Structure 1
Amino acid sequence: RFVRTAEGESIPEGSSPWEVLITVDEAVPEAAFCAGRRTLGVDVNADHLAWALIAPDGNRLKTGRIDLPLQGFSAEARRSLTCEAAAALVKLAAREEAQIALEILDFARKKRELALRPESAGRRRMLHALPYAAVLEAIRRRAARAGIGVRGVNPAYTSVIGRVNFATRHGIGTHRA
């Protein structure tokens, strides 16, 4: 990419005001996901990442959320916010010495269903604006660089199990449960 030096910045004498920026894709090996370790379960939502730190025995240790306000921003700003949220999540996992578990959701069917119902225009817009794959990719990349294992999990019944086992008993929302 060719970029012109901004006005007001000094340019060494005899140099061009143009710079060439090069982006290189580099494969980063994924870290192993191990049984018997703490796990940070992550729920990706339209406006935040909900997380729950789970002990090896399956008990909840902590829960929280990382805001991800993407509506109303440009594509570049959304990408930046996504990367910041992924960095915060991986930093949390590193501090807690935990690996990361992500629900692998398929929005294609949901988008088709919403397209058939005119009353769901707001939900359809929200679903199309959510860069779900980009969020997962950002988390995976950051975690790989930090040596933190990431695993995709089947989302079947995760909300029901969380609601029954944790939400009501501990007074937390179903996203964090």
Structure 2
Amino acid sequence: MYDDNTNQWYVEIANPLEQQNGKHAPRLRFPVLVPEKYEEDIIDLVIGESVGVNAKGKPIIEYRPYTVEIKRKNGEYYIHLVYEEEVYGRELAYDEPIQAERIAGIDINIDRIAVSIVSKQGNFLQSKVFYCHELEYVKANKRNNIIGETVRDVYDWLLQENVGAVVIENIQLRQRHDTDKRFNRLTHHFNKKKLTETILRRGLRLGFRIKKVNPAYTSVIGRFKYMKKYGLSVHESAALVIGRRGLGYQERLPKELINTIKTKVKRHLIAVLGSMEESYKQSKSGTKQRQYLGMMLKKIENFKKEHEWSLWNILHKFCWLNQYQIQLKEV
């Protein structure tokens, strides 16, 4: 069991030696050290997964069977949990093609899960956002219930829409290009790994093919390329990019964005270099900035040889959207 008040795991053992007639045996409670890499699996196993609510509005928790063994070794006691994982789906390799007619890209955030469905040709079909604002504030056991309920709602919708495969971010490669102060304050409340693993585990149980992709620039690409085109939020747009990336599609910059970089951004960077005061140019920070801007200008000049992500990075660094209109950032 896990105690939210002490943030500590415990094991309770019945003590039959002190059991009184007609009463339950008293419990002996001992603190347990749980390795971090197993903590999420144990939470799922011991706390269970919320699968609905009863007539009184209380959550219905589904538990998986498991056995507990306590072993003594070198004067220390170890607890072994043994359980089986039923899996009907499969996790695909990064270069393995997706065999499905409809694919869902999923963008996971601290207060919502955005899902966009695409065809196998990479065309946008529809999207939906599943909100879970309470994750920012509740304790661990309640958070586990909310995650279970939200992920269940996601898959109920995907099954209804005949989706056969799911694409999610590989959080080990996660890079946030939209970090803000609010996100930094709430990071410790939000277990991204827990939510992602719940999506993965439930999808495999339900028979989905699941693929992980590099999340680099998905929000940036979605914002500049698809948000206005399909009338989506930035998170739905990112989910669309994730789904397309799972299918192997490259996100080249449209001609209008290339022109923006070659004209507006280029002139902007040249103007910044030209307006630097001589004293600042000679300073350490000024030298670094001149070198950086020079490197960016070189990339713009040789844009045809650059990787798409390099160009998206330039757009991200020096541009932002205001009512779908591209504005230049201060450098």
TM-score (norm 1): 0.75
Q: Match of 1:102, as an amino acid?
A: I
Secondary structure of 1:163 counterpart: helix
Aligned equivalents of 1:71, 1:97: Cα separation in 2: 31
Aligned mates of 1:84, 1:168 — CA distance in 2: 31
Aligned to 2:160: 95
- 1:54 aligned residue: 118
SS in 2 for 1:172: coil
DSSP-derived class of the 2:138 partner: coil
Alpha-carbon distance in structure 1 between the residues aligned to 2:120 and 2:160: 16
Distance 1:45 1:28 in 2: 27
Aligned to 1:7: none
Matches of 2:204 and 2:166 in 1, distance apart?
Answer: 11
* Candidates 92, 98, 104, aligned match of 2:170: 104
Q: Structure 1 regions of 5+ residues with no counterpart?
A: 4-13
The SS at the match of 1:176 is helix
Task: Give ranges in structure 2 of 5+ residues lacking alignment.
Answer: 1-10, 14-20, 26-45, 47-63, 67-82, 93-97, 238-331
Cα distance in 2 for residues equivalent to 1:68 and 1:172: 19
- Is the contact between residue 94 and residue 148 of structure 1 (CA under 8 Å) also seen in structure 2? no
Aligned length: 160
**Over residues 29-67 of structure 1, what are the superposed CA-to-partner deviations in whole Å (9 max), with x where a residue is unaligned?**
362353343111111111010110111111111111111
Q: Report sequence identity in percent.
A: 24
Which has more helix, going by share of residues? Answer: 2
Report how far residue 176 of structure 1 moved.
0.3
Identify which of 231, 236, 243 aligns with 1:176. Answer: 236
Partner secondary structure for residue 120 of structure 2: coil
User: Relative contact order (alpha carbons < 8 A, sep ≥ 6): 1 or 2 greater?
Assistant: 1
Greater CA radius of gyration, 1 or 2? 2
Shift, 1:17, TM fit = 4.6
Quote the residue 1:166 is aligned against. 226
Going from structure 1 to structure 2, the CA distance change for 1:149 and 1:106 (only over 3 Å counts) comes to: same
Equivalent residue, structure 2, for 1:6: none
Task: Give every structure 1 segment of 4 or more consecutive aligned residues whose post-TM-superposition deviation is greater than 6 Å.
Answer: 107-110
Q: Which one of the candidate residues 146, 149, 170 is aligned to 1:84?
A: 149
Map residues 12-91 of structure 1 onto 2, 5 A cutoff: 16-17=23-24, 23-24=65-66, 25-29=83-87, 31-32=89-90, 33=92, 34-69=98-133, 70-91=135-156
Distance in 1 (alpha carbons) for counterparts of 2:174 and 2:125: 34
Structure 2: distance between partners of 1:138 and 1:78:
12
Contact 2:175 2:216 in 1 (8 A): no
The residue type equivalent to 1:90 in the other structure is Y
TM-score, normalised by the number of residues in structure 2 = 0.43
Deviation at 1:92, TM superposition (A): 1.7
Structure richer in strand, relative to its length = 2
Deviations 1:62-92 (A, max 9, x none): 1111111212211111111011111111222
Cα distance change on mapping 1:163 and 1:124 into 2, 3 Å: closer
What is the distance in 1 between the residues matched to 2:124 and 2:174? 31
Q: CA deviation at 1:123?
A: 3.1
Moved more, 138-147 or 156-165: 156-165
- 1:127 corresponds to which residue? 187
Q: CA RMSD for the aligned pairs?
A: 3.1
Provide Cα deviations, 1:118-161, integer angstroms capped at 9, x if missing partner: x94x4323122211110011111211111111111111222233
* 1:146 aligned residue: 206
Distance across 2 between alignment mates of 1:88 and 1:15: 44
Deviation for aligned residue 1:2: 5.7
The aligned residue for residue 318 of structure 2 is none
